[in-house]
């Protein structure tokens, strides 16, 4: 796709943040946007660089992460198509607190701070939509902290699979991992080896089927029930012939 053939106002109109905005407003915001292309492995920004715009992923995948002094990586978010990121540091005039890196060939829509500020001054409802988006991200971060502190690794993997299934639509029966298993493991604060071990445990239990990055989920309810089993849990009952009913006691959940 050539950049000059990309209809910016039309694309903005389908994003939740800009939905229902009048055509003139979309034109104004579009005038403050630019398209940026990145190849796999390219850095979008680094910690400490000034943040003067936020981004929306048109296609591809962006990894938001930090690296400790010892070289350990922590993945905060994977921003796929339609997802926005970097709004918070842009608003407070701060520098980036995380690194952004393309995991695949990626097209980003960069929206300038001035375009956003000007539109907020014209339309208070736009400010509310921005606050709503930031609030949802804050709630996701709080959910992450709760999961790391209170939930087992098994529960975190199951929660992730079920959230991806829900994102895929009501009729979905499978998920496609948006990044490598190693990257998703870091997103869940797990080691890649542990993440793979949990996936194979779930497959052995008859709850999922793994085909590279594609994971079929036979019963979301059974998968959820299995993730909540303790080592001394009673046998679960289920009408499915291949399910937790005959594997719950044979395969103890990982911690």
**Predicted confidence (pLDDT) at residue 246 exceeds the cutoff of 50:** no
> How would you write 3-22 as a 3-class SS string?
HHHCCHHHHHHHCCCCCCCC
Q: Which of 131, 66, 130, 57 is nearest to 97 (CA)?
A: 66
- Do 26 and 9 form a contact (C-beta atoms < 8 A)? yes
Query: Tens digit of pLDDT for each residue in 218-235?
Result: 999 899 888 877 554 444
User: What band does 147 get if pLDDT is binned at 50, 70 and 90?
Assistant: confident
Q: Does domain 3-134 have CATH number 2.40.50.100?
A: no
Specify the fold of 151-246. Arc Repressor Mutant, subunit A (1.10.10)
Query: What global pTM score does this model have?
Result: 0.77
77-81, 206-210, 230-234: the lowest-pLDDT one: 230-234
Quote the percentage of the chain above a pLDDT of 70: 88
In whole angstroms, give the CA distance from residue 46 to residue 65: 9
Return the domain boundaries, the chain: 3-134, 151-246
pLDDT score, position 64 = 96
Instruction: Name every residue whose Cβ is closer than 8 Å to that of residue 209 and which is 6 or more positions away in sequence.
Output: 203, 215, 216, 218
pLDDT score, position 238 = 55
Instruction: State the number of CA atoms in the 13 A half-sphere of 39 facing the CB.
Output: 0
- For residue 76, how many other CB atoms are within 10 A of its CB? 19
pLDDT score, position 248 = 44
Our separate counts of H helices and E strands in the chain read 9, 11
**Predicted confidence (pLDDT) at residue 11 exceeds the cutoff of 90:** yes
pLDDT score, position 247 = 45
Stated as kind and residue range, the H or E segment containing 174 is strand 174-176
């Amino acid at each position: 796709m050539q950049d000059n053939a990309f209809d910016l106002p039309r694309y903005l109109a389908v994003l939740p943040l800009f939905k229902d905005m009048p055509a003139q407003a979309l034109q104004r915001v579009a005038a403050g946007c630019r398209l940026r292309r990145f190849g796999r492995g390219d850095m979008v920004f680094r910690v400490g660089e000034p943040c003067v715009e936020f981004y929306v992923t048109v296609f591809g995948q962006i990894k938001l992460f930090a690296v400790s002094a010892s070289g350990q990586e922590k993945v905060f978010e994977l921003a796929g198509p339609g997802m926005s990121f970097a709004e918070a540091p842009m608003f407070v005039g701060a520098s980036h607190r995380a690194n952004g890196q393309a995991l695949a060939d990626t097209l980003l829509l960069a929206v300038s701070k001035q375009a956003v500020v000007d539109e907020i001054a014209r339309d208070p409802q736009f400010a509310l939509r921005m606050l709503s988006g930031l609030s949802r991200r804050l709630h996701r971060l709080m959910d992450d902290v709760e999961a790391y502190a209170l939930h087992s690794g098994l529960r975190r993997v199951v929660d992730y699979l079920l959230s991806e299934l829900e994102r895929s639509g009501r009729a979905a029966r499978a998920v496609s991992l948006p990044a490598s298993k190693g990257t998703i493991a870091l997103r869940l604060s797990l080691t890649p080896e542990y993440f793979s071990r949990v996936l194979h445990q779930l497959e052995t239990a008859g709850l999922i089927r793994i085909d590279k990055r594609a994971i079929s989920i036979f019963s979301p309810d059974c998968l959820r029930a299995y993730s909540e089993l303790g080592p001394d849990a009673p046998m679960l009952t289920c009408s499915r012939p291949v399910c937790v009913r005959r594997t719950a006691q044979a395969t103890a959940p990982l911690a």
